[in-house]
Chain A
Amino acid sequence: MPLFALFVTLLAWAAAALFVAAGAMLTYEVGARYFFTAPTIWAAELSQLCLIWGSLVAMAWCLRERRHIRITAITGLLPRGPRLIAEAAAMLTVAVFSVVVVWKGFEIFWDSFERGRTTGSMLDLPIWITELAIPFGFAVLLAQALVEALRAARGEVPEDGAQGEGGMGE
C-alpha cells in the first residue's frame, strides 16, 4: 500500500478510536456525577474535541471508500465516458472547495495560535488545538480528491461503496 493510502487508513482507524473514546468519557462523566457526585471538568470538552478531530481526519478515507453520501441516480445511468468525466469533475469540485477551506481555515488557526487564544472553559485549552483540525483534515481531503480525479482521468470507474449494515443513519 502506498504511503499516502496507509496514512489515510490510519487516520480512519484513529477517528473510529476517537468516537469510542468519546463514548467512554461521557459514560464516565455520568457515572462520576451520579455515583460520586464529582462531575469532571474535562469529559464534555475532550469528547467534543474527539468528535471534531475524528470527523475531519476521516473525510479523506470516506471519499476514497465512497462512503460520503452522493446521488448516483443520474450518473449511474451514463455510459462509461461521460460517467468518468462527471466523476473527475465531481472530485475536482471537492478539491476546489477544500483549497478555500484549507486556506481560510489556516488563517483562523494561525490567528488564534499567534494571539494565544484559549477556549475560556474550565480546561482553558488553547483554541488552536480545535481549529487546526480544519486545515489538516481538508488538506488530506484535498490530496485524496486529486488522487480520485486522477484515477477517473485514467479511466478507473470506482464502484460505490458498500453502504454497510450500519447504513446511513436514517
Chain B
Amino acid sequence: MTIILILGALFALLLAGVPVAFALGGMGLGMLLAGGFSPLMAPQAILSTLDGFILLAVPLFLLMSNVLLKGGVGRDLFAAVQAWVGHWPGGLAVATILSCGIFAAISGSSVATAATIGTVAIPEMLNRGYEKRFVYGLLAAGGTLGILIPPSIPMIVYGFVTEESVIALFLAGIGPGLALLTLFVLFSMAHAAMRGMGRAEVASWAERRQASIRALPSLALAVIVIGVIYTGAATPTEAAAIGFAAALLITGVILRTLSWQGLREAAIESMATTVAILLIVAGAKVFGKAIALYRLPQEISAFIGEMIDTPLAFVAVVAIVLLIMGLVFEALSMVLIMTPVLLPAAVGLGLDPIWFGIFMVIMVECALITPPVGLNLYVIQAVARATMGEVARGVVPFLLLMFVTVALLYALPDLALYIPFKL
C-alpha cells in the first residue's frame, strides 16, 4: 500500500512538470522527514553522488562527442563508410547505420549520434529517392546504438547506482550492439531490394583512400577509447578525458574544422547536459536512500516473488512496464527510478545484474523512439524538419527489431556476458 502511495505521489510531481531531479529529491526528502529520519541525509546523498569518480566520465564523454559533432566529423565518417559500402543494395542506408555504429563507439549518447549522422545522411538519402518514413525511422533507431555500443552514459549511471562494474557493462554492450546493428543492416538491404532501389556506382580506390584518410583519426579514436578501457590501461573516466583531448587535437589541429565558436558551444552544451543528468542521479540517490529505509525494494521483491516465479515472466512484465512508462517518461529517469526497485527481484530470480543492465538499456532505447516522449524522435524531427507522425510511423519496424534483440538476449545471455566474463 505504502509503495502505491509513494509511487503515486512521485508520478504526480513528475507529471505536474517538476524537474525530474527535484521531484525525486523532494519526494525522498519528504519521506525522510515523514519517517523521522535525519534530513541531513539529503545533502549528504547529493554530495556523495557528485563525489563519484566514475560520474566524472559523463561530462568528459559529452565533451568528446560534442567537440566531434561541432568539428563536423559526421560528414567525413559517413563519406568514408559510403565509399566502401555505397554500392551494396540499400548501400546508403547501410552506410548510415554503420556510421551510427562507429559514431556510437566515440559517443555515449544516442541523441548526439542521431544528430551527428542524421544531419549528413538524411538529405543524402532523400535525394537518392529513399522513402521519407524509412529514412526518419532508420536515423532515430540508428541513433540509439549510441548508448548500447560503449561508451554509454546510461550504462555509467546504471553502474553507479547498482555499484556494478562500468567496464563490464561497456563490454557487455558490444555483443547486443553488434547484433542490433546487423539486424538493422539486413532490414535496410531487404527494404531496398523490395522497393527496387537502384544501386550507387562502386567508388574508385582513389576515392576510397581519400575518404578513409579523413575519417581515420575518428576511427582511431574509437579504437583507442575502447582499447584503453578494455586493457585496463586507464579507468573509463581517464579514457574519457583522453578521448576529449584527442577530439580537440583531431578537430582543432589535424582537420582544422573546429572553430572557437564551436568549442564554446560544445562546452556549454556538455555542461548543461551533465548538470541535468547528474542532478537526476543525485535526486534518485536521495529517493533511493529513502525507499531503502522504508524497506520498499525488499517488499516489492517479495511481492514479485509471490506473483512471478520464472525469470521469463519477470523479464516480460518488466519489459511491458518499461514500454508503458517510456511513453511518458524520459529514458534516464526511468532507469534511475526502476533500477533500485527492480534489481533485487531480478537478482533473486537468478538474473545477472550486468545482463539486466543491458536489458534495461535496450528497453530505454525503445523509450527513446516511442512517441509522444522520445528524444530521438524530436532530434530527427528537428534535423529533417519532418512531422512527428512521419518519424513515429517510420520507427515501427525498427522497434520490432529491438524486440527481436531483447528476445535473442534472453535466449542467449552470452550475447552480452561472453565478452566481459568469458573472453
The reply to whether the CB of A151 lies closer than 8 angstroms to some CB of chain B is no
The reply to whether the CB of A94 lies closer than 8 angstroms to some CB of chain B is yes
Within 8 Å by CB of B275, from A48, A58, A164, A165, lies A58
A71 to B276 CA separation, bound complex (whole angstroms): 13
Given A93-B23, A163-B375, are A104 and B40 neighbors across the interface (CB < 8 Å)? yes
Residue contact A90 to B18, C-beta cutoff 8 Å: yes
The reply to whether the CB of B13 lies closer than 8 angstroms to some CB of chain A is yes
Chain A positions within 8 Å of B375 at CB level: 163, 167-168, 170
Given A68-B19, A94-B18, A100-B42, are A170 and B69 neighbors across the interface (CB < 8 Å)? no
Closest-by-CB residue of A relative to B19 is A68
Closest-by-CB residue of B relative to A87 is B17
Within 8 Å by CB of B56, from A12, A51, A69, A97, lies A51
In the assembled complex, how far is the CB of residue B66 from the closest CB belonging to chain A, in whole angstroms?
Answer: 5
Chain A positions within 8 Å of B110 at CB level: 167, 170
Residue contact A19 to B111, C-beta cutoff 8 Å: no
For the complex of A and B, list the 3 residue pairs with the smallest distance between their C-beta atoms, beginning with the closest: A167-B111, A26-B241, A68-B19
Closest-by-CB residue of A relative to B114 is A167
Residue contact A19 to B43, C-beta cutoff 8 Å: no
Chain B positions within 8 Å of A93 at CB level: 13, 18, 22-23, 26
> Among the interface residues B14, B62, B274, which one has the most CB atoms of the partner chain A within 10 A?
B274
The reply to whether the CB of B320 lies closer than 8 angstroms to some CB of chain A is no
Q: What string of 1s and 0s marks CB contacts (under 8 Å) between A43-73 and chain B?
A: 0100110011011101101110101111111
Interface size in chain B (residues, C-beta < 8 A): 81
The reply to whether the CB of A107 lies closer than 8 angstroms to some CB of chain B is yes
Q: What string of 1s and 0s marks CB contacts (under 8 Å) between A129-170 and chain B?
A: 011011000000000000000000000000000011111111
Within 8 Å by CB of B46, from A13, A26, A134, lies A134
A54 to B14 CA separation, bound complex (whole angstroms): 25
Given A62-B272, A73-B328, are A90 and B51 neighbors across the interface (CB < 8 Å)? no
Chain B positions within 8 Å of A97 at CB level: 22, 25-26, 29
A12 to B25 CA separation, bound complex (whole angstroms): 22
Residue contact A15 to B275, C-beta cutoff 8 Å: yes
Closest-by-CB residue of A relative to B234 is A30
A104 to B47 CA separation, bound complex (whole angstroms): 12
Residue contact B51 to A48, C-beta cutoff 8 Å: yes
In the assembled complex, how far is the CB of residue A62 from the closest CB belonging to chain B, in whole angstroms?
Answer: 5
Chain B positions within 8 Å of A44 at CB level: 53
Residue contact A169 to B153, C-beta cutoff 8 Å: yes
Residues of B within 8 A of A (CB): 13-23, 25-26, 29, 39-40, 42-44, 46-47, 50-51, 53, 55-56, 58-60, 62-63, 65-66, 69, 108-112, 115-116, 147, 153-154, 233-234, 237-238, 240-242, 244-245, 266-280, 328-333, 364, 368, 372-373, 375, 378-379
A-B contact count (CB 8 A): 247
The reply to whether the CB of A75 lies closer than 8 angstroms to some CB of chain B is yes
Chain B positions within 8 Å of A134 at CB level: 43, 46-47
Residue contact B379 to A54, C-beta cutoff 8 Å: no
8 Å CB contacts to B: which residues of A90-139?
A: 90, 93-94, 96-97, 100-101, 104-105, 107-108, 130-131, 133-134
Question: A86-B17, A134-B46 provided; 13 other pairs, C-beta below 8 A?
Answer: A22-B56, A29-B238, A51-B56, A62-B279, A69-B280, A69-B330, A70-B19, A71-B329, A74-B16, A94-B26, A166-B65, A166-B273, A167-B115
Chain B positions within 8 Å of A108 at CB level: 40, 43-44, 47
Given A71-B14, A97-B22, are A12 and B268 neighbors across the interface (CB < 8 Å)? yes
Chain A positions within 8 Å of B55 at CB level: 51
Closest-by-CB residue of A relative to B118 is A165
In the assembled complex, how far is the CB of residue A31 from the closest CB belonging to chain B, in whole angstroms?
Answer: 9
The reply to whether the CB of A17 lies closer than 8 angstroms to some CB of chain B is yes
Residue contact B53 to A166, C-beta cutoff 8 Å: no
Chain B positions within 8 Å of A86 at CB level: 16-17
Question: Could you list 30 A-B pairs, sorted by A, with CB under 8 Å?
Answer: A12-B271, A13-B268, A16-B270, A17-B267, A19-B59, A23-B241, A51-B56, A52-B47, A54-B271, A54-B274, A67-B276, A68-B22, A69-B277, A69-B332, A71-B373, A75-B17, A86-B16, A87-B17, A97-B29, A101-B42, A101-B43, A104-B40, A134-B47, A165-B111, A166-B270, A168-B331, A168-B375, A169-B62, A169-B111, A170-B110
Chain A positions within 8 Å of B46 at CB level: 101, 105, 134
A23 to B274 CA separation, bound complex (whole angstroms): 14
Residue contact B50 to A51, C-beta cutoff 8 Å: yes
Residue contact B276 to A69, C-beta cutoff 8 Å: yes
> Among the interface residues B266, B275, B373, which one has the most CB atoms of the partner chain A within 10 A?
B275
